[in-house]
Structure 1
Amino acid sequence: MTDTAAPARRGGRPPLSESRKDEIRLEIAMAAVRLFTEHGLDATSAGQIAEAAGISTRTLWRYFPSKEACAAPLLSFGLDRFTASVRAWPGDRPLVEAADDTSWFSDTSTTRLLLVLDLLRLTCTEPTLDAVWVRCYAEAVAPLAAVLAERFGREPGDLRMRVKSSMLLAAMHQGMRHYLARLPGEPGLSLQDTIRAAARIGFAAADAPE
């Protein structure tokens, strides 16, 4: 009986899974926003971000085209969770009732949520970071429109679905902005109640008869 030769083993590390790549992107984003908040955008280098994230600068450039883009996964993470929450909402219940379910952002880690708030504050004064937010927002419109189209029995590319999607995302964003605009010590709704109030407006508009 002839022995079958074992296949040659390739050297090097096994390729990373897509989920692990997403985790690395999020880790880089969190490190970047911490540095942007502490030192300012201009005073933070790609090398500092890479060091804080525990990777090489060369690896960082494989994931992101600029240091500002490093912040994007923090924004996309919340947008993706919001879209998933709308997708999971029962089809036999009014969409406006989904406003009371704020788990899409409250169930995430406190650290991550605080970093998102820090990042949104920075977008108010840093145009390049605001451009990152605009891009993330634009990329989130189509997936949410597809979820709404399925719910309302429309085509994913239907203009009405894209408008409804844009309104919902804008409502969430404006809720965050409204909360952040308050002065320290100024009375007002909690973050969760502010998001809930903004969501009611957005969901009511999305659920309204055409």
Structure 2
Amino acid sequence: MSTAQPAPSSARPATLTERRKAATELEIARTAAALFAERGGAVTAEDIARAAGVAPRTFYRYFRTKEDAVAPLLTWGVRSWTERLAELAAREPELPLGEVLERAAREALTPADARAAEALEWTRGLLHAMRDNPALRAVWHRAHHESELALTEVLARAGAAGPLEVRLAAAAADGALRAAVEVWAAGESDEAPAELAVRGLRLVGAGLPWLAQRRGPGAG
């Protein structure tokens, strides 16, 4: 999954202070993810602060708990495919949404460089640590809930379906992506996470046939 910093939600450019704050937050999140992946729940907030090169008081200025420290990385990771989805759906308005979902998921879960591959491995380690850490699991599920909400907005703009169908599709698609990463992290399949996600999305599409319909002026 991508670890790139997302664009600010506002149209105005971020200030230097905001950029520095975001960079510090992201560095702490990356450090926390690496330490949790390596040591599991034995990691402390002080360990994370020390490894990130910040004072403990600075850590607590950004995060309430050690588990919260991984939230930015997970949130940006699981939402990277939503951003790709929105871009692709707008760029190719006649492409069926099922295909848009698959292509966006494949791009999001195929590391583009060494740092992205490292982030995916951190996610694997985090998922292992989550088995004995309910607080970490809560952060993971919260990130996916945010992803589902964003996905609902994208599908509502791009598709010709009612609110129930859109919400169901968003929940199922996000669930397919989450399940794919969890199956891969657990070593339950030899397939890459991108391939597992595409297979899961095709299962979702089989139950939601409107996702396979062409969109735009030529649809019908």
How many Å apart are 1:190 and its aligned residue?
2.6
Q: How does 1:37-116 map to 2 (within 5 A)?
A: 37-41=37-41, 43-89=42-88, 90-98=92-100, 99-101=102-104, 102-106=106-110, 107=112, 109-116=116-123
How many Å apart are 1:46 and its aligned residue?
0.9
How many Å apart are 1:15 and its aligned residue?
5.5
Residue aligning to 1:16: 17
How many Å apart are 1:114 and its aligned residue?
1.0
Residue by residue over 1:134-160, the C-alpha shift from the partner in whole angstroms, topping out at 9 and shown as x without a partner, is: 1111222221111110012568xx343
Instruction: Note closer, same or farther for the CA distance 1:82–1:178 as it changes in structure 2 (3 Å cut).
Output: same
Paired residue for 1:136, among 126, 138, 143? Answer: 143
How many Å apart are 1:92 and its aligned residue?
0.7
Residue aligning to 1:26: 26
Query: Taking every aligned residue pair, what percent have the same amino acid on both sides?
Result: 28
Taking structure 2 as the reference length, the TM-score comes to 0.75
Q: How does 1:185-196 map to 2 (within 5 A)?
A: 188-196=190-198
1:126 equivalent to 2:133? Answer yes
Instruction: Note closer, same or farther for the CA distance 1:46–1:195 as it changes in structure 2 (3 Å cut).
Output: same
* Deviation >6 Å, runs of 4+: none
Paired residue for 1:171, among 172, 176, 180? Answer: 176
Unaligned regions of 5+ residues in structure 2, if any?
1-14, 214-220
Residue aligning to 1:9: none
Question: Could you tell which deviates more after superposition, 22-31 or 197-206?
Answer: 197-206
Relative contact order (C-alpha < 8 Å, sep 6+): which is higher?
2
The structure in which a higher percent of residues are helix is: 2
Unaligned regions of 5+ residues in structure 1, if any?
1-13
RMSD between aligned alpha carbons? 2.5
Residue aligning to 1:201: 203
How many residues of Structure 1 are paired with residues of Structure 2 in the alignment? Answer: 190
| CA distance in 1 between partners of 2:203 and 2:25 (Å) | 32
Match for 1:194: what amino acid? Answer: L
